């Protein structure tokens, strides 16, 4: 389980093509052998993956073809910046919101605007996800826990403060950028419960 609080970004330093998969080598100043071990779960752009090799400042993960097809990881290239988060520990502070690392779909950045204080991004999402995205609710975008500021039937908007912009891959978001979306797990289970009350 993750919280969507990104301590910092990482960089794809090598990509190896495998049969029906790819292997990514990721560099990040936030990688620590004290926090990670072989088999540890990590979030890369909101996708839960398994560390198969760990060094002082880098790690290696395998990404299946299905994950490459269903998320924006399939479009990653060497030197691309990714968001990195280690799994929540038993003594971790619970900031953000519950993030499973199971991406529901990809969305697309429609607009990017700066109001002098923060940036607002409008994001298009698949129609089947929109009922789970509520104003002032939580949504996970590329692994980042964010608050929804505006919502319509087809898209929603989030505001980004300078600190978040600086330490994540949001600095590279532009119109047409594909982003990974995970809806709030609480909304998912409430909707499921309501199905059985009809």
CATH number of the domain that residue 19 is part of? 2.40.30.20
Rg (CA), the chain: 17
Q: Is the model more confident about 8 or about 137?
A: 137
Using alpha carbons, select from 142, 111, 146, 98 the residue that is nearest to residue 9: 142
- Average pLDDT rounded to a whole number, residues 64-93: 89
Q: Does 82 lie in the same domain as 18?
A: yes
Whether 112 and 190 map to the same domain: the answer is yes
Would you state the pLDDT for residue 29? Answer: 82
Residue 175 sits in the same domain as residue 121? yes
pLDDT tens digits, one per residue of 99-116: 888 999 999 999 999 999
End residue of a domain, out of 51, 86, 121: 86
Helical H segments across 43-130, by residue range: 65-70
Whether 155 contacts 173, CB under 8 Å: no
Q: Are 147 and 176 in contact (CB under 8 A)?
A: no
Q: pLDDT band at 33, cuts 50/70/90? A: low
The alpha carbon dihedral of 59, 62, 68, 74 has a sign of positive
pLDDT > 90? residue 93: no
Do residues 81 and 109 both lie within one domain?
Answer: no
Same domain, 171 and 112: yes
Q: Are residues 160 and 191 in the same domain?
A: yes
In terms of domains, do 180 and 138 share one?
yes
* pLDDT the model gives residue 37: 84
The residue count of the chain comes to: 198
Domain end marker among 55, 86, 117: 86
Q: Answer whether residue 119 is part of any domain.
A: yes
Q: What is the pLDDT of residue 8?
A: 81
Please indicate, yes or no, if residue 182 is contained in any of the structural domains. yes
- Whether residue 130 is found in the same domain as residue 170: yes
Is the model more confident about 67 or about 189? Answer: 67
Domain membership of residue 98 (yes or no) is: no
Rounded to whole angstroms, the Cα distance separating 163 from 178 reads 22
Q: CA distances (Å), 27 to each of 35, 41, 141, in order?
A: 15, 16, 21
In-domain check, residue 97: no
Q: Is residue 3 part of a domain?
A: no
Q: Is residue 90 pLDDT above 60, yes or no?
A: no
Q: What is d(CA 191, CA 17) in angstroms, rounded to the nearest whole number?
A: 39
Give a yes or no: residue 93 inside a domain.
no
Residue 91's pLDDT is 58
Per the structure, the complete domain to which residue 13 belongs is given by 8-86
How many angstroms separate the CA atoms of 94 and 72, rounded? 27
Structural contact between residues 158 and 150, judged by C-beta atoms closer than 8 angstroms: no
Pair (176, 136) in one structural domain: yes
pLDDT grade for 120, boundaries at 50, 70 and 90: very high
pLDDT at 30 over 80: no
Domain count, the chain: 2
Residues 145 and 81 in one domain: no
Could you say which of 39, 59, 86 is where a domain stops? Answer: 86
Confidence of residue 188 (pLDDT cuts 50, 70, 90): confident
82 and 113 in one domain? no
Quote the pLDDT of residue 198.
62
Query: Do 144 and 182 form a contact (C-beta atoms < 8 A)?
Result: no
Residues 110 and 82 in one domain: no
Distance CA(145)–CA(26), nearest Å, equals 22
Predicted confidence at residue 94, as pLDDT, reads 62
Q: Assign 182 to helix, strand or coil.
A: strand
pLDDT cut 70: percent of the chain above it: 93
E-only strand ranges, 65-177: 81-86, 105-114, 119-124, 138-141, 144-151, 155-160
């Amino acid at each position: 389980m993750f919280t969507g609080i990104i301590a910092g970004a990482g960089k794809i330093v090598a990509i190896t093509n495998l049969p029906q998969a790819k292997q990514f080598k990721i560099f990040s100043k936030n990688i620590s052998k004290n926090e990670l071990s072989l088999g540890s779960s990590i979030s890369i752009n909101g996708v839960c993956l398994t560390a198969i090799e760990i060094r002082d400042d880098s790690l290696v993960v395998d990404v299946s073809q299905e994950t490459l097809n269903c998320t924006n990881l399939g479009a990653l290239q060497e030197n691309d910046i990714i968001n990195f988060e280690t799994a929540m520990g038993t003594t971790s502070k619970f900031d953000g919101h519950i993030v499973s690392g199971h991406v529901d779909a990809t969305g697309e950045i429609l607009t990017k605007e700066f109001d002098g204080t923060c940036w607002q991004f409008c994001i298009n999402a698949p129609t089947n996800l929109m009922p789970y995205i509520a104003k002032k609710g939580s949504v996970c975008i590329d692994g980042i826990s964010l608050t929804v500021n505006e919502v319509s039937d087809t898209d929603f908007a989030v505001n980004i403060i300078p600190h978040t912009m600086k330490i994540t891959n949001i600095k590279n978001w532009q119109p047409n950028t594909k982003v990974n979306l995970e809806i709030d797990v609480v909304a998912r289970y409430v909707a499921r419960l309501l199905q059985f009350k009809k």
